[in-house]
Amino acid sequence: MSAARSRTIWLVAGEDSGDQLGAKLMRALRAAAPDTTFGGVGGEAMAEAGLVSLFPLDDVAVMGYLPVLARARTLLRRIRETVAAAVRARPDVLVIIDSPGFTHAVARRVRKAAPGIPIVDYVSPSVWAWRPWRAKGMRPFIDHVMALLPFEPDAHLRLGGPPCTYVGHPLIERLAELRPGGPEQRTRDAGPHSLVVLPGSRRSEIERLMPVFGQVLERVCGAHPVEAVLPAVTRHRGLVERLAAAWPVPARIVTGEAPKYAAFRGARAALAASGTVTLELALAGVPMVVAYKVSRTEEFIARRLIQVPSIVLPNLILGENAVPEFVQAECAPTTLAQALLPLLTEGAPRDAQLAALARIDGRMRLPDDDTPSRAAARIVLRASEGR
């Protein structure tokens, strides 16, 4: 792979998490190929790495059906502008980053207008979980997928998707922040025991799960006193504080990533909503119980579309249901408390889950201590050379 020639690489992100991935990828690309220039769409992190975005990321960082409908005119205009600019620039490669609602719309149109531009998709859509036909539908406009989860390449192969390579999840670069040092591990073991409670990051999740989690905490504290720590998303802290005020047991609320990871390092166990946080907890070595609730309409749709044996990422990575999960009617205070209590004390349930979580490292690490951003950069550079 030649890194000497100058090249232009376009990156298009659609939300903050993609902006963070894009910034790391830009730094890795510049380290491997110093004469690389960049264009596209990104946020503050990518701007710090040297990208001049076509427009503010907030213009397209929209989630949920109703918000998307409300901003449809702006979104369509920004899609057209991104496509037109990419086609004019004729970059050596276009990298779209997550946010398929926006980035795939850009990629389809670029492929139609300028079929010679290679297109790489950084972060696979969850085709393995729902709407699996999307994998095959990506082939006409995506040349390569860079996956964050180790089972995704097999899923794309099985479903007829584009070529797919596991490049590693960004969390594997943050193990030192997630895992306890000596004093923290002793606190975990000796007490007073800390229980970290994570009701989700979206308003709908918080509103559904906070009352249930409060009742779970009451039952747990009746049998095994704990100090509850509740990491909250900054924008929803007011909502979390209001709902936590009704809990029969007080919880210490923290915001920000550093306090959240500090809570993980000291936690004996966790009660969490399904999501990426379960992978953070698994890498931190925190045994957990996972719960989730959606509306009846969402449940009706999900039962027909979701095709995985678990909604918990550590379980999918391990290929076994090591982490107990309770969804919909099973997401009940007594049931959750009964599953959580054995994880707070020494014994077979806690030992079995800890042993399972310890195996996740081996599934997620890259060979030769490679990093996700370097692995992704190599694929992008190969694509820029038509390989």
What are the tens digits of pLDDT across the range 282-314? 999 999 999 987 555 554 445 554 556 677 899
The pTM assigned to this predicted structure is 0.85
What per-residue confidence (pLDDT) applies to 188? Answer: 86
Q: CATH code for 7-168+367-385?
A: 3.40.50.2000
Residues forming CATH 3.40.50.2000 domain(s) in the chain: 7-168+367-385, 174-364
Q: Which residues are CB-neighbours of 292 under 8 A, at least 6 positions away?
A: 205, 209, 273, 274, 311, 325, 326, 327, 328, 331
What is the C-alpha separation between 151 and 128, in angstroms, rounded? 9
Q: Which is it for the CA torsion 107, 109, 112, 113, positive or negative?
A: negative
What per-residue confidence (pLDDT) applies to 328? Answer: 78
What is the C-alpha separation between 23 and 44, in angstroms, rounded? 9
User: What DSSP character marks residue 306?
Assistant: B
What per-residue confidence (pLDDT) applies to 306? Answer: 55
Which helix or strand (DSSP H or E) is residue 320 part of?
A: none
What per-residue confidence (pLDDT) applies to 195? Answer: 96
What per-residue confidence (pLDDT) applies to 86? Answer: 97
- The tokens for 134 are 């999307």
What is the C-alpha separation between 313 and 357, in angstroms, rounded? 11
What per-residue confidence (pLDDT) applies to 42? Answer: 94
**What values do phi and psi take at 288, rounded to 5?**
-145, 160
Q: Angle at the Cα of 202 (from 200 to 203), degrees rounded to 5?
A: 110
Q: Which residues are CB-neighbours of 319 under 8 A, at least 6 positions away?
A: 151
What per-residue confidence (pLDDT) applies to 123? Answer: 96
Superfamily of domain 174-364: Glycogen Phosphorylase B; (3.40.50.2000)
| pLDDT tens across the length of the chain (387 residues) | 445 568 999 999 988 889 999 999 999 999 999 999 999 999 999 999 999 999 988 777 655 555 556 667 778 899 999 999 999 999 999 999 998 989 999 999 999 999 999 999 999 998 987 788 999 999 999 999 999 999 999 999 999 999 999 999 999 989 999 999 888 888 888 878 999 999 988 788 899 899 999 999 999 999 998 999 999 988 889 999 999 999 999 999 999 999 999 999 999 999 999 888 999 999 999 999 999 875 555 544 455 545 566 778 999 999 999 999 998 778 899 999 999 999 999 999 999 999 999 999 889 999 888 999 999 999 999 999 985
- The tokens for 293 are 């609730």
